[in-house]
Amino acid sequence: MTKPPVSISLSSYGADLVRQQGQGSFITLLAAAGASRIEWREELLTTEQPARLAAEARTQGLQSIYSSPLELWLAGQPRPNPALALALQRAEAFGSTWLKVSLGYFTDSHDLSALSELLAASAVQLLVENDQTLQGGRIEPLQRFFTAAEHQALPVGMTFDIGNWQWQDQSAAVAARQLGRYVKYVHCKAVARRDDGKLIAVPPALADLHLWEQLLKHMPAGVMRAAEYPLQGADLLQLTAEHVTTLSRLGHARREPAHV
């Protein structure tokens, strides 16, 4: 069986290290660790040259996702965020097939035809993620958006961030049942609460992996998935390879025939 594509969000290595070394320095590491995709992080860019990174990633056999903190819909504005056109261009410059953004303030009065025109002019596919905000991190507005986008036949998919639902006290299981068919990309992230009450991303325990297996049952077979939790240690290659293997196996058990 073909293994599902596994991406690594470069934020997993820590903002300080990534900014210090540059995002291009992780290309060879990800390829050697068996990842098939790399997620560039706009908020961690320093002096990187998009064309150079795009070429290096292609040479190493990696496809690219471009992650932007942009909100697709701004409060009180019926048309898409004016910055979306530039974000699509930047994603393409980085050689990315996908652009990941947040939902923002979507209402039923928003102009999906304007969004359709923007997307029709770009080769990049838009992925809208549940973030940690009140406006973009709850099931109901995301469901309304994807239902409307589906009616308009917009080329938009969902990035389902497993951990982010907890910031708005939402059930990931309920979200998977209601939104799973729209999912094109899964951000895998376990969450813990610090002593000061703050929620933080952490690597998965066995219980988290079991939960993720259940969530994937509601999503397309072999859906692209990514690590977006701390990957920090003395041997980043070995650590990354272990997590790539773990994530690539998620969802296999339910699709393999039972042995008799």
**Which residue in 223, 218, 169 sits closest to 191, CA to CA?**
169
- Whether 47 is in a domain gets the answer yes
Structural contact between residues 227 and 12, judged by C-beta atoms closer than 8 angstroms: yes
pLDDT at 1 (0 to 100): 58
- Examine the pLDDT at 44 and tell me if it is beyond 70: yes
- Whether 255 is in a domain gets the answer no
Structural contact between residues 71 and 81, judged by C-beta atoms closer than 8 angstroms: yes
- Examine the pLDDT at 253 and tell me if it is beyond 90: no
pLDDT digits (tens, 9 = 90+) for 164-210: 999 999 999 999 999 999 999 999 999 999 999 999 999 999 999 99
Residue 252, strand partner residues:
none
- Whether 256 is in a domain gets the answer no
Strands (E), the chain: 6-9, 37-41, 63-73, 96-104, 125-129, 156-161, 183-188, 190-193, 199-202, 224-227
- Examine the pLDDT at 109 and tell me if it is beyond 50: yes
- Whether 259 is in a domain gets the answer no
Give 257's pLDDT tier (boundaries 50, 70, 90).
very low
Domain containing residue 53: 6-249
- Whether 1 is in a domain gets the answer no
- Whether 254 is in a domain gets the answer no
Structure tokens at 142: 């995301």
Q: Going by C-beta distance under 8 Å and a sequence separation of 6 or more, which residues neighbour residue 97? A: 63, 64, 65, 124, 125
Portion of the chain with pLDDT greater than 90, in percent: 93
pLDDT at 28 (0 to 100): 98
CATH of the domain at 204: 3.20.20.150
Structural contact between residues 68 and 37, judged by C-beta atoms closer than 8 angstroms: no
> Total domain count for the chain?
1
- Whether 257 is in a domain gets the answer no
- Examine the pLDDT at 255 and tell me if it is beyond 90: no
pLDDT digits (tens, 9 = 90+) for 211-227: 999 999 999 999 999 99
- Whether 195 is in a domain gets the answer yes
